[in-house]
Structure 1
């Protein structure tokens, strides 16, 4: 069916580059099979049945429509249907209609907000990173009419802000909070870390008023931010200074053991080699600020990444009405990305560049949501 879709402008240009990709979406994580596809595989006949034999299994643990089964991964956590040409045997031999929803839709993310479909891209896809984050202009959003088969997509989140109007819920302010959040991250007169501090303070002010049941205060705050009656200088805080424990924690053996992606393992090992001889890394970085300066040259990449996260994950509403929990995860993700970029640059002795930053963002994004150690670090 044809419907209006709200999306970041980069999604207009996105197209899978298949075997030309330097990574593959068919390895490095579990590949879940939806119920309809699982039944189709179970009841298949002929050559398709022969191809599928012994290569998928039923999900005994978390049974729901989108997680009815899994592919039986091979060495390197590779999909059993990924051939030597880095192409899919199911797609190539039997058509897209026989793919599971995960494979049909990746790396696209769909949400529904106030009955409007929204589409964005996952940064675990290197082509999404390239199209979305290397644009030096601010990320823009547009509305397009697109042909979408609802049976081929998974809706991650649904928000109906209009249903909460006049209630004691922050969801009634969804659009104001979302627009202000993106505008803050695009305040280019401030550093990325100052912008994140401003955003955190914005959420803190909302939460404080919410706990006092002061909805008039929330509405005045939103009005002040919308009309830029805000003293950003008083909210920007200081640039982040991590302690040595943080730098050590993101190189721990138990974290590395839980990493499934080959590219991220390489990144973390290079990071470990880079910081290996630095007993006091925090002091070393303070005395060698060039790494921070080099990252600042590419602040547009990190800006676009953060804006994409806010839009894709419906931040801060991805944690319900616990806004400070949401911003904590976003800030900690940024801190980990930044640290890996610096450690890898220390190891290579090369100047930080666009491709190094994209490499870290993409490889980390592929693993971070599926690694229990990362989860603990993000929620600190």
Structure 2
């Protein structure tokens, strides 16, 4: 079927680089099998059946049509069909049509907003990170048409903002809030941390007016921020200052033991090594602005990452109607990434580079949604 598509511009040029990739999407997490593919595997015969034998299982827990089964992972959480050339035996031997939806679509993800399909890239893919985040220009969005196979497309979320017109729901203001959020994150007169503080202040004002059912005030706030008449300077707040507990919490054993990504384990090993070089990480960094200055020169990397997250996750509507909870997760993601980058730089005694930043973003993105300790840290 042909559908209307809205997406970041980089997605129009994205192509998987296969075995040339610095990582593999076939290891480090559970690989779910959709119902149609599971049934196809179950009823397979001949050589295909022999290839599949003992390499997948049904999902015994409650599931939807996209989670009928799972691949039986090998050592280091590797897919059983990933061969020594870092290629897929199913794809190579029997064709892409025999892959499950997860493997066909990754790293592309889809939402539907007001009947338009939105396509985005997951930052757990190194090529997505390189294309989207190392670009010094502001992230742009484009419209177009694309042929999609409905049965092969997993839709994460669906929003019909018009359905909420005149109700008590903030979803009726979805587009205004989304556009303002992206504009704030792309306001380069402010630091990344100032932009995040401004974004949180904007959400707090909207939530406060909503709690009092002051819908006229909400519309006034949206108009003010849309016209960029709001005095951002008064909302930019203070730089983030972490206490030493924060630096130790993001390296605690319960978190490390639950990490499945090999690359993230490597990053955490370097981070812990860097952190242990000083008695108190917080005090050391308060007196050593070097690393913060180096990070500031790559603010465009963080900007593009955060804008991508806002678009991909439909922020701030990914945590029910709690806008502040949503932005807190975004802020805490940034804080964790920033801390890991600094600790790794301390460990390796190297100047921070853009490639190092996207390596941490990519490694963390691959594990962060599957680690309950990370979930607790993000939602503080």
Pick the TM interval, shorter chain: over 0.9
Query: 2-side partners of 1:207 and 1:73: how far apart?
Result: 44
Query: 1-side partners of 2:210 and 2:137: how far apart?
Result: 35
Partner of 1:129: 129
1:42 CA drift (Å)? 0.1
> For 1:221-260, what per-residue CA distance to the aligned partner results, in whole angstroms no more than 9, with x for missing partners?
0000001110111100001001100000011111110000
1:271 CA drift (Å)? 0.2
Partner of 1:115: 115
Structural mapping, 1:235-314, within 5 Å: 235-314=235-314
Query: 1-side partners of 2:378 and 2:298: how far apart?
Result: 23
1:111 is paired with a residue of what secondary structure?
strand
Query: 2-side partners of 1:22 and 1:147: how far apart?
Result: 30
Partner of 1:357: 357
1:157 is paired with a residue of what secondary structure?
strand
> For 1:89-120, what per-residue CA distance to the aligned partner results, in whole angstroms no more than 9, with x for missing partners?
00111111110000000000100000000000
> For 1:30-62, what per-residue CA distance to the aligned partner results, in whole angstroms no more than 9, with x for missing partners?
000000000000000111000000000001113
Query: 2-side partners of 1:359 and 1:289: how far apart?
Result: 22
Provide TM-score, normalisation by structure 2: 0.99
Partner of 1:71: 71
Partner of 2:139: 139
1:315 is paired with a residue of what secondary structure?
coil
Q: Are residue 7 (structure 1) and residue 3 (structure 2) matched?
A: no
Q: State how many pairs are aligned.
A: 380
Partner of 1:23: 23
Q: Which segments of 5 or more consecutive residues in structure 1 lack a partner in the other structure?
A: none
1:3 CA drift (Å)? 1.6
Query: 2-side partners of 1:36 and 1:281: how far apart?
Result: 51
Query: 2-side partners of 1:62 and 1:197: how far apart?
Result: 39
2:120 is paired with a residue of what secondary structure?
strand
Query: 1-side partners of 2:61 and 2:267: how far apart?
Result: 32
Query: 1-side partners of 2:160 and 2:370: how far apart?
Result: 28
Query: 2-side partners of 1:278 and 1:254: how far apart?
Result: 22
> For 1:198-227, what per-residue CA distance to the aligned partner results, in whole angstroms no more than 9, with x for missing partners?
000000000000000000000000000001
Partner of 1:196: 196
Query: 2-side partners of 1:13 and 1:357: how far apart?
Result: 22
Provide TM-score, normalisation by structure 1: 0.99
Query: 1-side partners of 2:278 and 2:378: how far apart?
Result: 24
Query: 1-side partners of 2:173 and 2:368: how far apart?
Result: 30
1:277 CA drift (Å)? 3.0
Partner of 1:106: 106
> For 1:153-210, what per-residue CA distance to the aligned partner results, in whole angstroms no more than 9, with x for missing partners?
1000000000001111100000000000000000000000000000000000000000
Query: 1-side partners of 2:353 and 2:4: how far apart?
Result: 37
Q: Are residue 151 (structure 1) and residue 151 (structure 2) matched?
A: yes
> For 1:316-374, what per-residue CA distance to the aligned partner results, in whole angstroms no more than 9, with x for missing partners?
00012100110010000000000000000000100000110010000000000000110
Query: 1-side partners of 2:228 and 2:266: how far apart?
Result: 44
Query: 1-side partners of 2:131 and 2:4: how far apart?
Result: 22
The list of structure 1 runs, each at least 4 consecutive aligned residues, that deviate by more than 4 angstroms after superposition, is none
1:238 is paired with a residue of what secondary structure?
coil
1:204 is paired with a residue of what secondary structure?
helix
> For 1:298-327, what per-residue CA distance to the aligned partner results, in whole angstroms no more than 9, with x for missing partners?
000000000000000000000121001100
1:284 is paired with a residue of what secondary structure?
helix
Partner of 1:89: 89
Q: Which segments of 5 or more consecutive residues in structure 2 lack a partner in the other structure?
A: none
2:66 is paired with a residue of what secondary structure?
helix
Q: In angstroms, what is the RMSD of aligned CA positions?
A: 0.6
